Chains A and B, each alone.
Chain A
């Protein structure tokens, strides 16, 4: 039995009822006034503004980049989003559109979203995106291999992709590892996959591609936050978490932030360590922000159509 398998199978099982109960309990917290304003601005700074459609055009990517830099053009005090997230062939366009703005370009890679391709192609996909200027790479794990019990293969693939993230100047593109929790079937598997991704060197663990239902859920994110907390205690390295898909309202986003604070701790309440993969969430955050600043409810006519 390999060392990796011994570690992963030695992880304690997940108490499903307790986990879901804790997630439900934490989501009843009421966040008001100044704390709400802080949470909304923090959530905006954590958004990876995402467009991953076959119909993506250069124009759409450029408009998304402009939105990431200045989400609310009517309010200069509104912070920028963390990154724009696109397919590898759109990285250059996004990079050019963003210029010097403090917004990263994240690119999905490794035969996203299914991950069903040879390692050579996955690595070429990754190198391509890094060469085009991607600051962050969102890779998918091989769920088929994981479910078949071939943990070493999954591990080695992440290590290889991490190597492919290297730039000629010795720096690395930030590697986010997508577990696609909706396909992992059990919470125990989510815990194992999280540890696997962290042991293999992932800088972030991400819930989902957004192409599979269910995508991010609060219990799954809570579980992954426990994993990064325990991993830092055991190995001294901090890993970020990114829930993606299905988070559409400010209320949901604030629930996630509460869970981050209560489970992983305030160290993770920063765009460097926690992100939201979303597209429609940003508009709802902006409408809530306008409600707080103006005192009246805003509407979809007062934010951009993406």
Chain B
């Protein structure tokens, strides 16, 4: 007797919980050949709003943790990514139309990327911070501080390596993130949510919305409680979103051509930090 298929309907990841979309909508996530893989929730404006509330709530605690502790937690996430290697490999193979060998290499690169960013948690300040020379009896010290709540449009094509490469640099410095996933290839993002939910990452630090960035994006871009916008996967909507963001003086990272396999550099981390400079008298 053949077994009945277990057809999955996945949910969003907001504030550490897995709610359905407030709108009740779902859509079909298909594989590279157009066959049904699973149902994904289609996030609406109000899901975006709820995610921002959750991200704001989590920001105080996450940004106040020591960089060392953030690094440890992110490394723990990498361990769990590795533990789900098989599942990620099948999902990447199916959604991106790769062979298992190719998909395995993508998963390896994604885990390595996460580990690489985790390592930066307690090193970034040494590299981009500075003891500035000033002509007076003062110490003048600059250090990077997290920007706040960052809305991220994840890449549409690279569903795991690209996704990891946009989330990790945002949260490693102490920001919290609201991520709108690839519309056509949401499965690896959903599995990543399950990894994050069972890791030590506090709820609300990363919020994952599966759905259409053209629908949710404008509400995030105009939202006054969002501090920055990463438009990597925003596609044609990017220009309008950037204009919306200007109204509330948000920091914006424009889309550009990306090679996800290349060394990422510090750019994605430094974009979403602010430089705090402190003057302190010498000899007191």
Cβ A298 vs Cβ B225 within 8 A: yes
**CA–CA, A299 to B224, complex, Å?**
5
Chain A residues whose CB sits within 8 angstroms of the CB of B248 once the complex forms? 296
Within 8 A of B (CB), among A256-306: 295-302
- What's the count of A-B pairs with C-beta under 8 Å? 26
Interface on chain B toward A: helix, strand, loop, or mixed SS? helix
The CA-CA distance from A64 to B49 in the complex, in Å, is 28
Q: Is the CB of B219 within 8 A of A301?
A: no
Tell which of A297, A298, A299, A302 touches B219, judged by Cβ atoms closer than 8 Å. A297
Question: Is there a chain A Cβ closer than 8 Å to B222's Cβ?
Answer: yes
Q: Are B56 and A297 in contact (CB under 8 A)?
A: no
Q: Interface size bucket, B side?
A: 10 to 19
Chain A interface mostly? loop
In the complex, chain B residues whose CB is within 8 Å of the CB of A302:
224
Would you call A301 and B225 a contact (CB within 8 A)?
A: yes
A192 to chain B, nearest CB (A): 40
Looking at A295, A297, A301, the one whose CB has the most chain B CB atoms below 10 A away is: A297
Contacting residues, chain A, for B219 (C-beta < 8 A): 296-297
A136 to B73, CA, bound (A): 53
- Minimum CB–CB distance from B252 to chain A (whole Å) comes to 16
Q: What residues on B are CB-neighbors of A296 within 8 Å?
A: 219, 222-224, 247-248
Q: Which residues of A contact B225 (CB under 8 A)?
A: 297-301
Which residues of A in the span 84-130 have a Cβ within 8 Å of any Cβ on B? none
Within the complex, the shortest CB–CB distance from A283 to chain B, in Å, comes to 12
- Taking CB atoms, residues of chain B closer than 8 Å to A295 are 222
7 new A-B contacts, CB < 8 A, other than A297-B223, A297-B224, are: A295-B222, A297-B52, A297-B225, A299-B226, A300-B225, A301-B225, A302-B224
Give 15 pairs: A residue, B residue, CB < 8 Å, sorted on A.
A296-B219, A296-B222, A296-B223, A296-B224, A296-B247, A297-B49, A297-B222, A297-B223, A298-B224, A299-B56, A299-B224, A299-B226, A300-B56, A301-B225, A302-B224
Residues of B within 8 A of A (CB): 49, 52, 56, 219, 222-226, 247-248
7 pairs of A and B residues whose beta carbons are closest in the complex: A299-B225, A296-B222, A299-B224, A297-B223, A298-B224, A302-B224, A297-B49
